[in-house]
Every structure is written in structure tokens, then in C-alpha cells.
Amino acid sequence: MKVAERLNKIPPYISAQIDKKIAELRKKGVDVVTLGVGDPDLPTPDNIIEVMEKAIWEPAFHRYPDYEGSIEFRKAVAEYYERRFDVKLNPENEVMALIGSKEGIVNLTYAFVDHGDYALIPDPAYPVYKTATLFAGGIPYTMPLLKENNFLPDFTKIDTDIARKAKLMFLCYPNNPTSAVADKKFFEEAVEFAKTYDIVICNDSAYAEITYDGYESPSLLSVKGAEDIAIELGSLSKPYRMTGWRIGYAVGNRDIMKALGRIKTNVDSGQFTAIQKAAVEALTGPQDSLKELRSIFTARRDMMVSALKEMGFDVSAPKGTFYIWAPVPEGYSSMSFSEMLVEKAAVVVIPGNAYGEYGEGFFRISLTTPDDRIKEAIKRMKEIF
Ligand SMILES: *Cc1c(COP(=O)(O)O)cnc(C)c1O
């Protein structure tokens, strides 16, 4: 059997080596603490589950859902955008439901990137932007996210010949994995650049609501002119602890939306309407669970950041996401540091280079692990540093 060539184009899954080590240690009975994957440890809030419990009995929901999402869900997303960002969206043609934002990333790429086209991809980044580009036959062009630039891409460094040939640009703020945030001025620069070169621009805003200390992250769509060229992808996964439910949305320019919709109608058949109904409750119902989530993550963040500082790591408390992006100590690479932590402390972190070559020299800690396990990880790390 010979698999398609595109499968050979995607980079090897770097965490696989670490996963193998975890499996070996667990087999030996070692208690491994994982600060790896970003998946909230808390269950989905009760108010959302209660709506789902009822919705599942609705016979109309047992049939094929609307491709673009139920109008009720799309209205709830539009309402949220107006309330939160003062951005007005037409739920009829500027909002679309997604089966998780990951799906949106891949299908958006298929909608805009042809064989040989460039896509501008941040590095380090959530790996899906690059793999989707490669699957579509496109060429990923790296926009380095450097610490000295607050992990924002520098558009003046992008080769103009490439910019002219680029079809799509991905951004992600608040950022996974660096936990950096972007202000409105940066989004203005991004829109200006994208308009100059006629590039579709997409901000993956999966962490828009995972923010701390009163910080509110802006929307790319709140920038003037963004409606001509931009979309934003959102997700219920992280703020409402619904990673297993698979519900997100795309919002923004209606022509981009139409193109994405044409791919989606040929690939999937929409998300289960009962799940969309539960998502409406998440977006428009009481927001106490979100406040609770923020306060839990704030406490974990502070605990981890102060411990890392005591151990001599050069870190500061992030304003967004539930990650801590820290430089590895002198003498280590991302990989050798992560492997050493697994071997000596049975603590798992993700090596920065798993997110791209510019992630080298860093490691990522996820705070989506119960408090006592984070304390245990700190205790074990302090025995080394
Ligand atoms: C978790 C995550 C996603 C995926 O979210 P889903 O809506 O669950 O598919 C997308 N982008 C980034 C940056 C993420 O960290």
C-alpha cells in the first residue's frame, strides 16, 4: 500500500518521542505529571450540559443540520461580537458555524490556497496552519515570531515578491504557544499589509476570552477595512471547556465566508444542531463559569510563574492563554531540556521546536492540569533547579 505523497510532506510529530518516553515510564509505574496538551481539565459548565440534555430530544435536530449553522447559533455569535467587540455582523452571511476551529483552518486554506501559492504562517505556531497549507499543495512562508518583537510578525521583513504571490495569512492572538497578545495597532498594520498585497487574513482567536488581570483582547474585525479582507475564527473549546463538543465559528468578510462555505458543503454536513443549541447557552447565558475559569488559571499562572522565577527562568506572567512560554536554561536545546525533565522529574512539557524552528530554545507549559499536579511538578522541578 502506498499512501498519498502529501502525507510524506508533513513534518514528523516531534512530541511523539516524548509520548513514547511517557508510555515507557508509566509502564514502569512512574507517576508522570503532564503539562503538555492544552485541554481544560475542568468539566463543561452545568448550564451548557442542561441545555444539551433537553436539546437531544428534539426530533428536528436529529436530521441533517444547516450547512452554515443554525440561525439561532449564528445570531448568538453576532450578539457576542457586538457586546464584546462592538463589531456588527450579519448573522445571515457573516457568521458560519464550524465543527471546531481546527476544521475552519483547514477548509479556509483549501478555499484560498492553490498548488504553488504562498501562505504566510507564523513560527512558532499551532501546527495546523502549516500542515493545511502543505495538504493544499501550497508553500508555507515563515513569519518569525521573535521575543524582541513581542512575538508579533514584522511585516516589513516579508519579501515583497512573496507577498505578491501570497493568498492567505494566519495570525493567532492571544497566541498559542507564546502567550503573547496583540493590540489594535498591530491588527491595523496587518490589515494594511494584507490590503496592499490582496491577501486574505485570518486571526485564530481561540483564546480571545482566556485573558487575565482585566485585559481584554481586541478583535481583528474591529479594525477599519478588516471587513474587506479578514475573517476571525473562534472556538467554544477553551473558554467553555468544550474541547470534546467540537463547535466553533468563522466570522467576517462575506466573500471569504462564501468560499469557505463552498468547501464545507462538499466536505461536511454541519455540526449537530443540539450542540449548537448548547453553544448558544454558552455564549448568551450566564458567564460565571468563564469568570471561574479565569480565576483558576490566574492562580495557577501566578503559582507557576513565581516558581519558575525562583528557579532562575526568565519568564513573566502572560496576559492571555493558559500557556507559559519560557526559555530553556543555558546548555540545553528545547528537546534535550524536555527529555531531561521527563527523565529526571517525570514532568512533561512541550519542546518549543514542536511549534516550528523559531520555537527552538523555548518550552511550553500548559496550565490545564489540576492545582495539586502543578504543585507536584513545581516540587520536582525545584529538586533540579
Ligand atoms: C486549541 C486550538 C484550536 C482548536 O480549537 P478547536 O475549536 O477545538 O478546533 C485552534 N487554534 C489554536 C491556536 C488552538 O490552540
Using CA atoms, how far apart are residues 368 and 34, in angstroms rounded to an integer? 9
Which band of pLDDT confidence, cut at 50, 70 and 90, is reported for residue 14?
Answer: low
Nearest Cα to 279, choosing from 321, 246, 322, 250? 246
Give the atom of ligand 1 at the shortest distance from the alpha carbon of 235. Answer: 7
Question: DSSP states of 115-146 as a string?
Answer: TT-EEEEEES--THHHHHHHHTT-EEEEEE--
The C-alpha angle 363, 305, 361, rounded to 5 degrees, equals 20
Are the CB atoms for 322 and 210 separated by under 8 Å? yes
Å from CA of 266 to ligand 1 middle: 22
Cross-strand pairs, 25: none
46-284 is a CATH 3.40.50.970 domain: no
The pTM for the full model equals: 0.96
Helix (H, G, I), strand (E, B) or coil at 275: helix
**pLDDT, tens digit (0-9, with 9 covering 90-100), for 69-122:** 999 999 999 999 999 999 999 999 999 999 999 999 999 999 999 999 999 999
CA R_g for the chain: 21
How many Cβ atoms sit within 10 Å of the Cβ of residue 58?
11
**The pLDDT of residue 3 is above 70:** yes
**Hey, which of 145, 178, 238, 368 would you mutate to test ligand 1's pocket, going by the most ligand atoms within 8 Å of its Cβ?**
238
Q: Are the C-beta atoms of residues 102 and 131 closer than 8 Å to each other?
A: no
One-letter amino acid for residue 33 of the chain: V
| Protein residue whose Cα sits closest to atom 2 of ligand 1 | 206
Domain positions in the chain:
5-43+288-384, 46-284
Residues 6+ apart with CB under 8 A from 147: none
Atom of ligand 1 at shortest range from CA of 98: 7
Q: Quick one: which of 271, 327, 346 has its CA closest to 146?
A: 327
Task: Please write the tens of the pLDDT for every residue from 180-189.
Answer: 999 999 999 9
Give the integer Cα–Cα distance in Å for 265 and 198: 26
Q: Is the CB of 39 under 6 A from ligand 1?
A: no
pLDDT at residue number 38: 87
- 101, 204, 233, best to mutate for ligand 1 pocket (most atoms within 8 Å of CB): 101
CA distance 103 to 81: 21
CA dihedral 111, 114, 120, 121 (to 10 degrees): 70
- Whether a cis peptide bond, with omega within 30° of 0, leads into 174 is yes
Dist CA 230 CA 203 (whole Å):
8
Question: pLDDT digit string (tens) for 189-248?
Answer: 999 999 999 999 999 999 999 999 999 999 999 999 999 999 999 999 999 999 999 999
From the CB of 281, is ligand 1 less than 6 Å away?
A: no
| Confidence class for position 9, pLDDT limits 50, 70, 90 | confident
pLDDT band with cut points at 50, 70 and 90 for residue 12? confident
**Contact present, 168 and 202 (Cβ < 8 Å):** yes
Is CATH 3.40.50.300 the classification given to domain 5-43+288-384? no
129 close to ligand 1 (CB < 6 Angstrom): no
Which cell is 258 given? 462564501
pLDDT per residue as tens digits for the range 292-319:
999 999 999 999 999 999 999 999 999 9
Q: Which of 3-7, 163-167, 235-239 has the lowest mean pLDDT?
A: 3-7
25 pLDDT above the threshold of 80: yes
Query: What DSSP line would sit under 35-103, residue for residue?
Result: --S---SSPPPHHHHHHHHHHTT-GGGGSPPPTT--HHHHHHHHHHHHHHH-----TTTSEEEESSHHH
Q: What are phi and psi of 366, to 5 degrees?
A: -105, 140
C-alpha to C-alpha distance for 43 and 230, rounded to whole angstroms: 33
Q: How far is CA 312 from the centre of its chain?
A: 29
**Percentage of residues of the chain with pLDDT beyond 70:** 99
* Ligand 1 pocket residue status of 126, Cβ below 6 Å: yes
- pLDDT digits 0-9 by tens, 272-285: 999 999 999 999 99
